[in-house]
Amino acid sequence: MGLVDFFKKLEPDKKKRPLLHTLYDGFFTFLFVPNHRAGQASHVHDHVDLKRTMIMVVLALVPLYLFGMYNVGHQHYLALGQYSDPTEAVGAKLLYGALRVLPMYIVAMVVGLGIEFYFASKKGHAIEEGYLVTGALIPLIMPPTVPLWILAVAVALAVIFGKEAFGGTGMNVVNIALLARVIVFFAYPQTISGDAVWVAGVDGYSGATPLALATQGWDQVTQKFSTEQMWWGLIPGSVGETCKPLILLGALFLLLTRIASWRIMLGGLLGLVFMGLLFNAWGATAFMRVPWYYHLYMGSFLFAIAFMATDPVTAASTNRGKWIYGFLVGLFGLLIRVFNPAYPEGWMLAILLMNVFAPLIDYTVLQANMKKRLKRA
């Protein structure tokens, strides 16, 4: 208790210095677990709080950051015609990628947390921990070339109008990280779409992604990328969305720690399979004829369904509702991807759409359950 008492003595006055007290409280609760447990009526009887739950999600993202930095460097040197072997110059590739990705992470955290600190001090409450995950997710869903000032603007608008305007953590209607991406997508489309934004540091280089090529047919994709490259993530794309084994590893970690819902993940996969089989049977366009399982190799479906769709605040909360919510995310995401190649990452729009309808899904499920029980009574 000596260390706790020492930090308690440093606590600023909450009324006289609200901002300083807010910063202190955030740092103190990060260092020490809560000193109380849930009441006897609760099924929770430990010292785990929201901050520590959020840290678990951030830990699941660390491998994706490391690989993302490596791949940013790998794609850079590949465009220059150097170190084409993935095992060559790993240190140089990591260094180059770190110089690109870490500033994005710093900007996302400084801008987002700065706004959170300000609102927390004005409201007189503790810092809300939800942004720890949001700030870690935002750089992973951006191209490595996104200008930092655009990233800062998108983060600020997303946090202010998507979160604080609704009351802060736990009150937002849509996923804040995806809202930041959609702001960039519609306000500054040239920085997040096309073929020139996925490879950093090589002016005039056009690095088409598998998704861009798939609109012309799967054979166009395989002429440039092997299925092994796409599976292991050695392709142009957003920072953290390319390496499928690491995404699956992170998803497994979230499932084992019971932070994410397996019902949403499996429901999303079933939705993609259902829509993919319909498109394969229809076969009206080259994109429709792409085998459904290859949609798992290209783009961000696995990342989106594991880390975005499972956000406990914006997703459905009832068990049956999670199945419906996840299924529709997978279905609508592929529908948007195939029918409108201008939005190849259909999961962004699909998840935001289903975020809005998640309360209605839960309401419908609960009403159906209540009617069923009333009939029994």
User: Is residue 327 domain-resident?
Assistant: yes
Within this chain, do residues 190 and 110 fall inside the same structural domain, yes or no? yes
Burial class from Cβ neighbours inside 10 Å (0-12, 13-18, 19+) for residue 214 reads buried
- Give the Cα separation of 286 and 219 in Å (integer): 10
Task: Return per-residue pLDDT of the chain as tens, 377 residues.
Answer: 566 555 555 555 555 555 454 555 555 454 445 554 444 433 343 444 555 677 889 999 999 999 999 999 999 999 999 999 999 999 999 999 999 999 999 999 999 989 988 887 777 766 666 788 999 999 999 999 999 999 999 999 999 999 988 887 778 999 999 999 999 999 999 999 888 899 998 887 877 889 889 988 899 999 999 999 999 999 999 999 999 999 999 999 999 999 999 999 999 999 999 999 999 999 999 999 999 999 999 989 999 999 999 999 999 999 999 999 999 999 999 999 999 877 778 899 999 999 999 999 999 999 999 998 888 87
Q: Contact at 8 Å (CB) between 214 and 287?
A: yes
Within this chain, do residues 191 and 167 fall inside the same structural domain, yes or no? yes
- Give the Cα separation of 249 and 245 in Å (integer): 6
Within this chain, do residues 199 and 242 fall inside the same structural domain, yes or no? no
Within this chain, do residues 212 and 201 fall inside the same structural domain, yes or no? no
Question: Could you give the angle at which helices 346-376 and 319-339 cross, rounded to 10 degrees?
Answer: 150
Q: Tell me which residue of 299, 174, 316, 293 sits closest to 235, measured CA to CA.
A: 299
Phi, psi of 10 (to 5 degrees): -85, -5
Domain boundary among 205, 221, 255: 205
User: Is residue 7 domain-resident?
Assistant: no
Within this chain, do residues 201 and 221 fall inside the same structural domain, yes or no? no
CA distances 148 to 112, 139, 304, Å, are 13, 10, 23
Q: Contact at 8 Å (CB) between 319 and 137?
A: no
Burial class from Cβ neighbours inside 10 Å (0-12, 13-18, 19+) for residue 210 reads buried
**Coil, helix or strand at residue 354:** helix
Within this chain, do residues 245 and 270 fall inside the same structural domain, yes or no? yes
- Could you tell me which residues come within 8 angstroms of residue 371 by beta carbon, excluding any fewer than 6 positions away? none
Helical H runs in the chain? 2-9, 18-31, 50-79, 90-123, 131-140, 148-162, 176-187, 210-214, 218-222, 227-232, 244-256, 262-282, 301-303, 319-339, 346-376
Burial class from Cβ neighbours inside 10 Å (0-12, 13-18, 19+) for residue 22 reads buried
Within this chain, do residues 185 and 235 fall inside the same structural domain, yes or no? no
Within this chain, do residues 149 and 272 fall inside the same structural domain, yes or no? no
Question: Residue 215 CA to chain centroid, in angstroms?
Answer: 25
Number of domains in the chain: 2
The pair of structure tokens assigned to 100 is 């690109």
Amino acid code (one letter) for 325: Y
User: Is residue 39 domain-resident?
Assistant: no
Within this chain, do residues 102 and 226 fall inside the same structural domain, yes or no? no
Within this chain, do residues 236 and 343 fall inside the same structural domain, yes or no? yes
Q: pTM for the complete prediction?
A: 0.88
- Give the Cα separation of 81 and 95 in Å (integer): 18
Cα angle vertex 42, ends 39, 43, to 5°?
130
Within this chain, do residues 74 and 196 fall inside the same structural domain, yes or no? yes
Domain boundary among 205, 221, 253: 205
User: Is residue 3 domain-resident?
Assistant: no
- Could you tell me which residues come within 8 angstroms of residue 343 by beta carbon, excluding any fewer than 6 positions away? 336, 337, 349
- Could you tell me which residues come within 8 angstroms of residue 15 by beta carbon, excluding any fewer than 6 positions away? none
User: Is residue 188 domain-resident?
Assistant: yes
Rounded to whole angstroms, the maximal C-alpha distance in the chain is 74
pLDDT tens by residue, 25-69: 555 454 445 554 444 433 343 444 555 677 889 999 999 999 999
Q: Which domain holds residue 105?
A: 14-34+49-205
User: Is residue 199 domain-resident?
Assistant: yes
User: Is residue 4 domain-resident?
Assistant: no
Within this chain, do residues 89 and 222 fall inside the same structural domain, yes or no? no
pLDDT tens by residue, 328-372: 999 999 999 999 877 778 899 999 999 999 999 999 999 999 998
- Give the Cα separation of 343 and 365 in Å (integer): 31
User: Is residue 41 domain-resident?
Assistant: no
Domain boundary among 145, 173, 205: 205
